[in-house]
Amino acid sequence: MRRLSKQGVSLVEFLIALAVLGILLGAGFVSLRSYQQSLIIREAATQVATELQGIRQQARRQSVNFTFQASANGNTYRAGRSSNLASLPSKSLPSGVVFQSVPSGGGIVRFDAPYGIVSSGANGSYVLRGPGNRVLNINVVGRTGKVVVRAP
């Protein structure tokens, strides 16, 4: 007796495979979106932390006071020499990220020459809120002005 060989897949098998593939793609899309939101807020936190560290170093190198200023619920900040901060252009955070809160005293952290120590805004914290209500804190710790990025 001769057996019939089965070639190809049935419609039911094809539909099951398609459903499984759809579920996997759906879960992957949700994970990808979450990952993108995390990247955006981390990019903004890195931008602010790098700016703070940079102006601290400039205060030490140039023996001139430098200031960082941001406003709560805004997405721009200014950083530069304290003497001409008002005339400097604003820098923007990545799209969808805002300063949720800033240190008391107008959101200002000032690094004084010649050692780059913090005269105002010591132990201040900038809180960034990004897409998906993700939050990161950028802390300026002590008079030395160490910058630390932390999740709340």
Chain segment 28-79, per-residue pLDDT in tens: 888 888 899 999 999 999 999 999 999 999 999 999 999 999 999 999 999 9
User: Number of structural domains, the chain?
Assistant: 1
* Structure confidence at residue 3 as a pLDDT band (50, 70, 90): low
- The full DSSP string for 81-93 is EGGGGGGSPPEEP
Distance CA 27, CA 107 (A): 40
Task: Specify if 33 maps to a domain.
Answer: yes
Q: Could you list the residue range(s) of the whole structural domain that residue 137 is in?
A: 11-150
Threshold 0.75, pTM exceeds: yes
Task: Specify if 109 maps to a domain.
Answer: yes
Task: Specify if 6 maps to a domain.
Answer: no
Which residue(s) pair with 139 in the sheet?
125, 148
Task: Specify if 46 maps to a domain.
Answer: yes
Task: Specify if 110 maps to a domain.
Answer: yes
Cα distances (Å, whole numbers) of residue 139 to 9, 27, 98, 106, 129: 60, 35, 16, 16, 14
Residue 105 vs residue 70, higher pLDDT? 70
Q: What is the CATH number of the domain that holds 34?
A: 3.55.40.10
Task: Specify if 3 maps to a domain.
Answer: no
Q: What mean pLDDT do residues 118-146 have?
A: 90
Contacts of 94 (CB under 8 A, 6+ apart): 40, 43, 44, 47, 130
Task: Specify if 64 maps to a domain.
Answer: yes
Q: What mean pLDDT do residues 11-27 have?
A: 90
Task: Specify if 31 maps to a domain.
Answer: yes
